[in-house]
Amino acid sequence: MKKLVDVYPYYYSDTERLFLIFRRSKSSLYAGQWRIIGGKCEKDENRSESALRELTEETGIYPNKLWVIPSINQFYEPETDQIHHIPAFAAEMPFQQIVLNHEHDTFLWLPAQEAANKLLWPEQKRLLLLTDAILSSNSVLPEWDIRLHSE
């Protein structure tokens, strides 16, 4: 069974918190859909390492902070008859130019509700809004932090 991760990047502008979403390129799986960062773990890679790798591959940016969202994305994949339980991570990003890889053709930084409205997958919408609620209440627990190599 493949190990998957989701990552919800956000940035604090001068006036608000914005979430980063991507539109999948025409040559990619889920072509034309607005999505968050997601991917598969490589061999011998734990999920937090995979989340950090996927984030940097898909944005070209190393985060200021990475933390575990205390919930999971789950869905059923009929082609493989598998139920996926996907850990979700949030990433506080510095303000830098996004460098898109081949998987996406554009991106947007949007307030939480606007970003969620563009996402088609219900669990991604829910987790993005949950992340925003946790950040709004300033309730990221220290136990959720992922230690980054730069720390």
In whole angstroms, give the CA distance from residue 89 to residue 91.
Answer: 7
Segment 49-96, tens digit of pLDDT? 999 999 999 999 999 999 999 999 998 989 989 998 999 999 999 988
CATH number, residue 75: 3.90.79.10
Q: Is the pLDDT confidence value at 121 over 60?
A: yes
Q: What angle do CA 47, 54, 108 make, to 5 degrees?
A: 130
Residue 111 lies in a domain: yes
Residues 6 or more apart in contact with residue 63 via CB below 8 angstroms: 9, 52, 55, 91, 92, 93, 94, 148
Residue 114 lies in a domain: yes
DSSP state, 144?
G
Residue 151 lies in a domain: no
Residue 132 lies in a domain: yes
In whole angstroms, give the CA distance from residue 106 to residue 4.
Answer: 23
In this prediction the pTM is 0.92
What's the token pair of residue 47?
Answer: 């999920």
Domain that holds residue 65: 4-146
In whole angstroms, give the CA distance from residue 4 to residue 41.
Answer: 6
Residue 23 lies in a domain: yes
With b for 16 or more beta-carbon neighbours within 10 A and e for fewer, the 105-143 pattern comes to eebebbebeebbebbebebbbebbbbbbebbeeeebeee
More confident residue, 111 or 15: 111
Residue 72 lies in a domain: yes
In whole angstroms, give the CA distance from residue 24 to residue 91.
Answer: 20
* Number of domains the chain contains: 1
- Total residue count of the chain as it appears in this document: 151
Q: Is the pLDDT confidence value at 150 over 70?
A: no
